[in-house]
């Protein structure tokens, strides 16, 4: 039932996030019925919710809630607003997942506190679980305990700064994204290698991943309505391997084709290289109806994307990632940038591609170190957002390391789908997209502190992931056995979990320029468990220095000297 277009839209989230009002608004837009499970509980009990809690207790309320939810989920063409605690029972979570699209309405604790009625103004409307002297503290406590369950949602809307109508629009957008991901996949079948879609407020594009797709690139571009000339910006090594196939595919689809080779490596990702590409486009008289094709790894997709975003105020962009990091991270979501001597990716913009085509077979010609580096992003996705993917990587490690076509393609598709979902919800990193930066604060600091020459991106991220786990353990929110699981997972795929010869002072200085800094405080993405991310801005600088000292193998004397 869960994959029909008329299946329920189910809203979850903490009290005060607007579920009841939004359910009515979304139902009006769709011409459907709105059901509030709290209202249904009141109908079943014949008394108010405070009376149920006071007279019969919370367990009785939860039984009625399960009954009301089950009845609502049996319907079609319905938008269901659930109670804030409905996600606590595993039967409810399973039922919601199987019944329809689940959308979580999120808000910060302070926002929730301001929205909810309080004891001194409307005592009869106070939520039973918040009827206490310090409701804000209770909100913080309850929300933290439920956050992992809210993460089950297919789509999340951060409501703090949105009007009710804007929240409704975001819910409808999430439903449309979910339908495309499920129904289109069913209709088209695996033969089209459709991995996922990215659906932002302004853009919508398909993502394909499969074994041996490069020859189909030109036709896929035509299918997306693209025309004009194709300006292929490529890693020089990749161009020598796959340029003939890519150019031939585009020419077969009647694109005029030109190519520009970029020397391999992070050192090429500069404004100087971008300027040379501008000169090439200008000399060739590129027009706004033309398209840029980014062929290579993350360096190329970042840099060619920036060129496409800025030349003639925007050319169409196709990303054709040929590295594991490119496929599962850099090619999706529209982040484009080049490095600056002060920090990685300091100059850039958000600019979405029109199409992403990932040929997993290209990984077979990737240098071993590059391939190994890429697994860091896939492992990160599992640890932060998908425990099932984390388990899959551990169980299938041998096949994945051997690049078994079926296992490797599945891992790439699943990882791409995770990133697509997050960037669809949060195009410009104003909310949940920051979760994808797990390990990147330290990782980017390492890259900048070593001039972008010592580490591949995934290697630095792997060290950063362990550092983030160590910080979470130091804060008392992550047990030691999960820190060890981080290390084991990364080491299994040949990734570093520490390093030496880098000064703590240099890494910390680079982190201060990181994009995740807000109000002079670093926003750390940490874990409370696998699939249970949190964002913290209260990590003491001394704790960071201590963790870096251990992670980087520095001595106490060296740390003292640096200060």
The tens digit of pLDDT for each residue in 516-542 reads 554 457 889 999 999 999 999 899 999
The domain ranges of the chain are 9-185, 193-407, 438-562
Residue 391 pLDDT exceeds 90: yes
Q: Please compute the mean of the pLDDT values over residues 129-144 and round it to a whole number.
A: 72
Residues 9-185, CATH architecture: 3-Layer(aba) Sandwich (3.40)
Specify the pLDDT at position 193.
84
- Three-state DSSP state, 521: strand
* Contacts of the segment 392-400: beta carbons below 8 A, 24+ positions apart: 393/489, 393/493, 394/489, 394/492, 397/492, 397/493, 400/375, 400/493
Asked if residue 171 lies in contact with residue 163, where contact means CB atoms within 8 angstroms, the answer is no
Specify the pLDDT at position 120.
46
Specify the pLDDT at position 487.
97
Q: Could you give the CA distance from residue 307 to residue 280 in angstroms, rounded to a whole number?
A: 11
Residue 318 pLDDT exceeds 90: yes
Residue 374 pLDDT exceeds 90: yes
**Which residues, in sequence order, are bridge partners of residue 295?**
234, 320
Residue 404 pLDDT exceeds 50: yes
List the one residue out of 441, 344, 329 whose CA is nearest residue 385: 329
Asked if residue 197 lies in contact with residue 207, where contact means CB atoms within 8 angstroms, the answer is yes
Q: Whole-number mean pLDDT of the chain?
A: 88
Asked if residue 324 lies in contact with residue 429, where contact means CB atoms within 8 angstroms, the answer is no
Which ranges in 356-395 belong to alpha helices (H)?
A: 368-385, 387-395
Specify the pLDDT at position 561.
44
Q: Could you give the CA distance from residue 106 to residue 287 in angstroms, rounded to a whole number?
A: 43
Residue 156 pLDDT exceeds 90: no
Topology agreement, domain 9-185 and domain 193-407 = yes
> Confidence band (pLDDT; 50, 70, 90) for 181?
low
Q: Please compute the mean of the pLDDT values over residues 426-434 and round it to a whole number.
A: 78
Residue 469 pLDDT exceeds 50: yes
Q: Could you give the CA distance from residue 466 to residue 70 in angstroms, rounded to a whole number?
A: 42
Asked if residue 402 lies in contact with residue 309, where contact means CB atoms within 8 angstroms, the answer is no
Residue 133 pLDDT exceeds 70: no
Specify the pLDDT at position 130.
53
Specify the pLDDT at position 125.
46
> Confidence band (pLDDT; 50, 70, 90) for 185?
very low
With a pLDDT cut of 70, the percent of the chain lying above it is 91
Residue 197 pLDDT exceeds 90: no
Of residues 239 and 120, the one with the higher pLDDT is 239
Residue 423 pLDDT exceeds 80: yes
Burial degree of 185 (CB within 10 A; 0-12, 13-18, 19+): middle
- Could you say which DSSP state residue 232 is in? E
Spell 2-17 as b/e; 16+ CB within 10 A means b: beeeebbbbbbbbbbb
Residues 193-407, CATH architecture: 3-Layer(aba) Sandwich (3.40)
Beta strands in 429-475 (DSSP E): none
**Which residues, in sequence order, are bridge partners of residue 532?**
529
Contacts for 291 with CB less than 8 Å, ≥ 6 apart = 221, 226, 228, 229, 230, 231, 255, 308, 315, 316, 317, 318, 354
Burial degree of 291 (CB within 10 A; 0-12, 13-18, 19+): buried
Specify the pLDDT at position 211.
92
Specify the pLDDT at position 560.
41
Specify the pLDDT at position 562.
43
Asked if residue 415 lies in contact with residue 378, where contact means CB atoms within 8 angstroms, the answer is yes
> Confidence band (pLDDT; 50, 70, 90) for 513?
confident
Least trusted range by pLDDT, from 47-56, 207-216, 229-238: 47-56
Q: Which residues are part of the catalytic machinery?
A: 313, 335, 377, 419, 429, 433, 437, 440, 444, 457
Highest mean pLDDT among 194-203, 443-452, 492-501 belongs to 492-501
Specify the pLDDT at position 514.
64
Specify the pLDDT at position 118.
52
Residue 164 pLDDT exceeds 60: yes
Specify the pLDDT at position 192.
57
Residue 555 pLDDT exceeds 70: no
Specify the pLDDT at position 424.
86
List the one residue out of 79, 129, 126 whose CA is nearest residue 105: 79
Q: Please compute the mean of the pLDDT values over residues 4-17 and round it to a whole number.
A: 90
Residues 438-562, CATH architecture: Up-down Bundle (1.20)
Specify the pLDDT at position 356.
97
- Could you say which DSSP state residue 356 is in? E
Q: Please compute the mean of the pLDDT values over residues 180-207 and round it to a whole number.
A: 69
The three state secondary structure string of 236-292 is: HHHHHHHHHHHHHHHHHCCCEEEEEEECCCHHHCCHHHHHHHHHHHHHCCCCCCCEE
Specify the pLDDT at position 267.
86
Token pair belonging to 173: 């957008």
Token pair belonging to 245: 């196939």
pTM higher than the cut 0.75: no
Least trusted range by pLDDT, from 102-116, 127-141, 394-408: 127-141
């Amino acid at each position: 039932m869960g994959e029909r277009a008329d299946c329920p839209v189910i809203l979850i989230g903490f009290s005060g996030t607007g579920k009841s009002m939004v359910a009515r608004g979304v139902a009006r837009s769709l011409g459907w019925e709105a059901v509030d499970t709290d209202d249904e509980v009141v109908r079943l009990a014949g008394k108010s919710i405070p009376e149920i809690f006071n007279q019969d207790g919370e367990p009785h309320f939860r039984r009625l809630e399960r009954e009301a939810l089950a009845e609502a989920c049996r319907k079609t063409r319905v938008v269901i607003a659930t109670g804030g605690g409905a996600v606590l029972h595993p039967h409810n979570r399973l039922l919601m997942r199987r019944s329809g699209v689940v959308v979580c309405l999120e808000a910060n604790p302070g926002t929730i506190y301001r929205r909810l009625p309080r004891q001194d103004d409307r005592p009869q409307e106070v939520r039973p679980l918040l009827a206490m002297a310090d409701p804000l503290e209770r909100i913080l406590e309850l929300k933290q305990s439920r956050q992992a369950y809210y993460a089950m949602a297919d789509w999340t809307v951060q409501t703090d700064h949105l009007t009710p109508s804007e929240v409704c629009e975001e819910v409808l957008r999430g439903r449309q994204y979910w339908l495309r991901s499920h129904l289109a996949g069913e209709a088209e079948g695996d033969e089209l290698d459709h991995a996922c879609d990215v659906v932002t407020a302004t853009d919508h594009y398909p993502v394909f991943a499969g074994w041996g797709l490069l020859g189909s690139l030109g036709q896929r571009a035509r299918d997306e309505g693209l025309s004009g000339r194709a300006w292929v910006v490529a890693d020089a090594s990749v161009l020598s391997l796959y340029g003939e196939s890519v150019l031939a595919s585009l020419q077969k689809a009647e694109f005029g084709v030109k190519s520009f080779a970029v020397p391999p490596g992070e050192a090429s990702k500069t404004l100087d290289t971008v300027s040379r590409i501008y000169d090439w486009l200008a000399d060739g008289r590129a027009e706004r109806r033309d398209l840029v094709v980014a062929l290579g790894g993350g360096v190329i997709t970042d840099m060619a994307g920036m060129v496409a975003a800025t030349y003639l105020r925007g050319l169409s962009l196709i990303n054709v990632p040929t590295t594991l990091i490119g496929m599962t991270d850099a090619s999706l979501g529209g982040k484009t940038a080049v490095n600056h001597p002060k920090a990685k990716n300091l100059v850039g913009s958000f600019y979405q591609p029109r199409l992403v085509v990932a040929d997993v077979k290209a990984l077979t010609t990737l240098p071993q170190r590059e391939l190994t580096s890429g697994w860091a992003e896939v492992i990160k996705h599992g640890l932060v957002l998908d425990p099932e993917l984390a388990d899959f990587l551990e169980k299938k490690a041998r096949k994945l390391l051997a690049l078994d076509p079926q296992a490797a393609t599945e891992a790439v598709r699943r990882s791409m789908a995770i990133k697509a979902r997050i960037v669809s919800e949060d195009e410009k990193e104003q909310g949940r997209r920051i979760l994808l930066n797990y390990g990147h604060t330290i990782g980017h600091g390492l890259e900048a502190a070593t001039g972008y020459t010592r580490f591949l991106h995934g290697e630095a991220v792997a060290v950063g992931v362990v550092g983030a786990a160590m910080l979470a353990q130091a804060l008392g929110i992550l047990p030691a056995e999960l820190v060890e699981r981080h290390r084991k997972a990364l080491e299994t795929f040949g990734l570093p979990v520490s390093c030496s010869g880098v000064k703590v002072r240099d890494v910390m200085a680079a982190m201060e320029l990181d994009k995740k800094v807000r109000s002079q405080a670093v926003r750390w993405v940490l874990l409370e468990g696998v699939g249970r991310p949190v964002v913290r801005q209260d990590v003491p600088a001394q704790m960071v220095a201590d963790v870096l000292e251990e992670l980087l193998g520095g001595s106490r004397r060296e740390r003292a000297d640096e200060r």
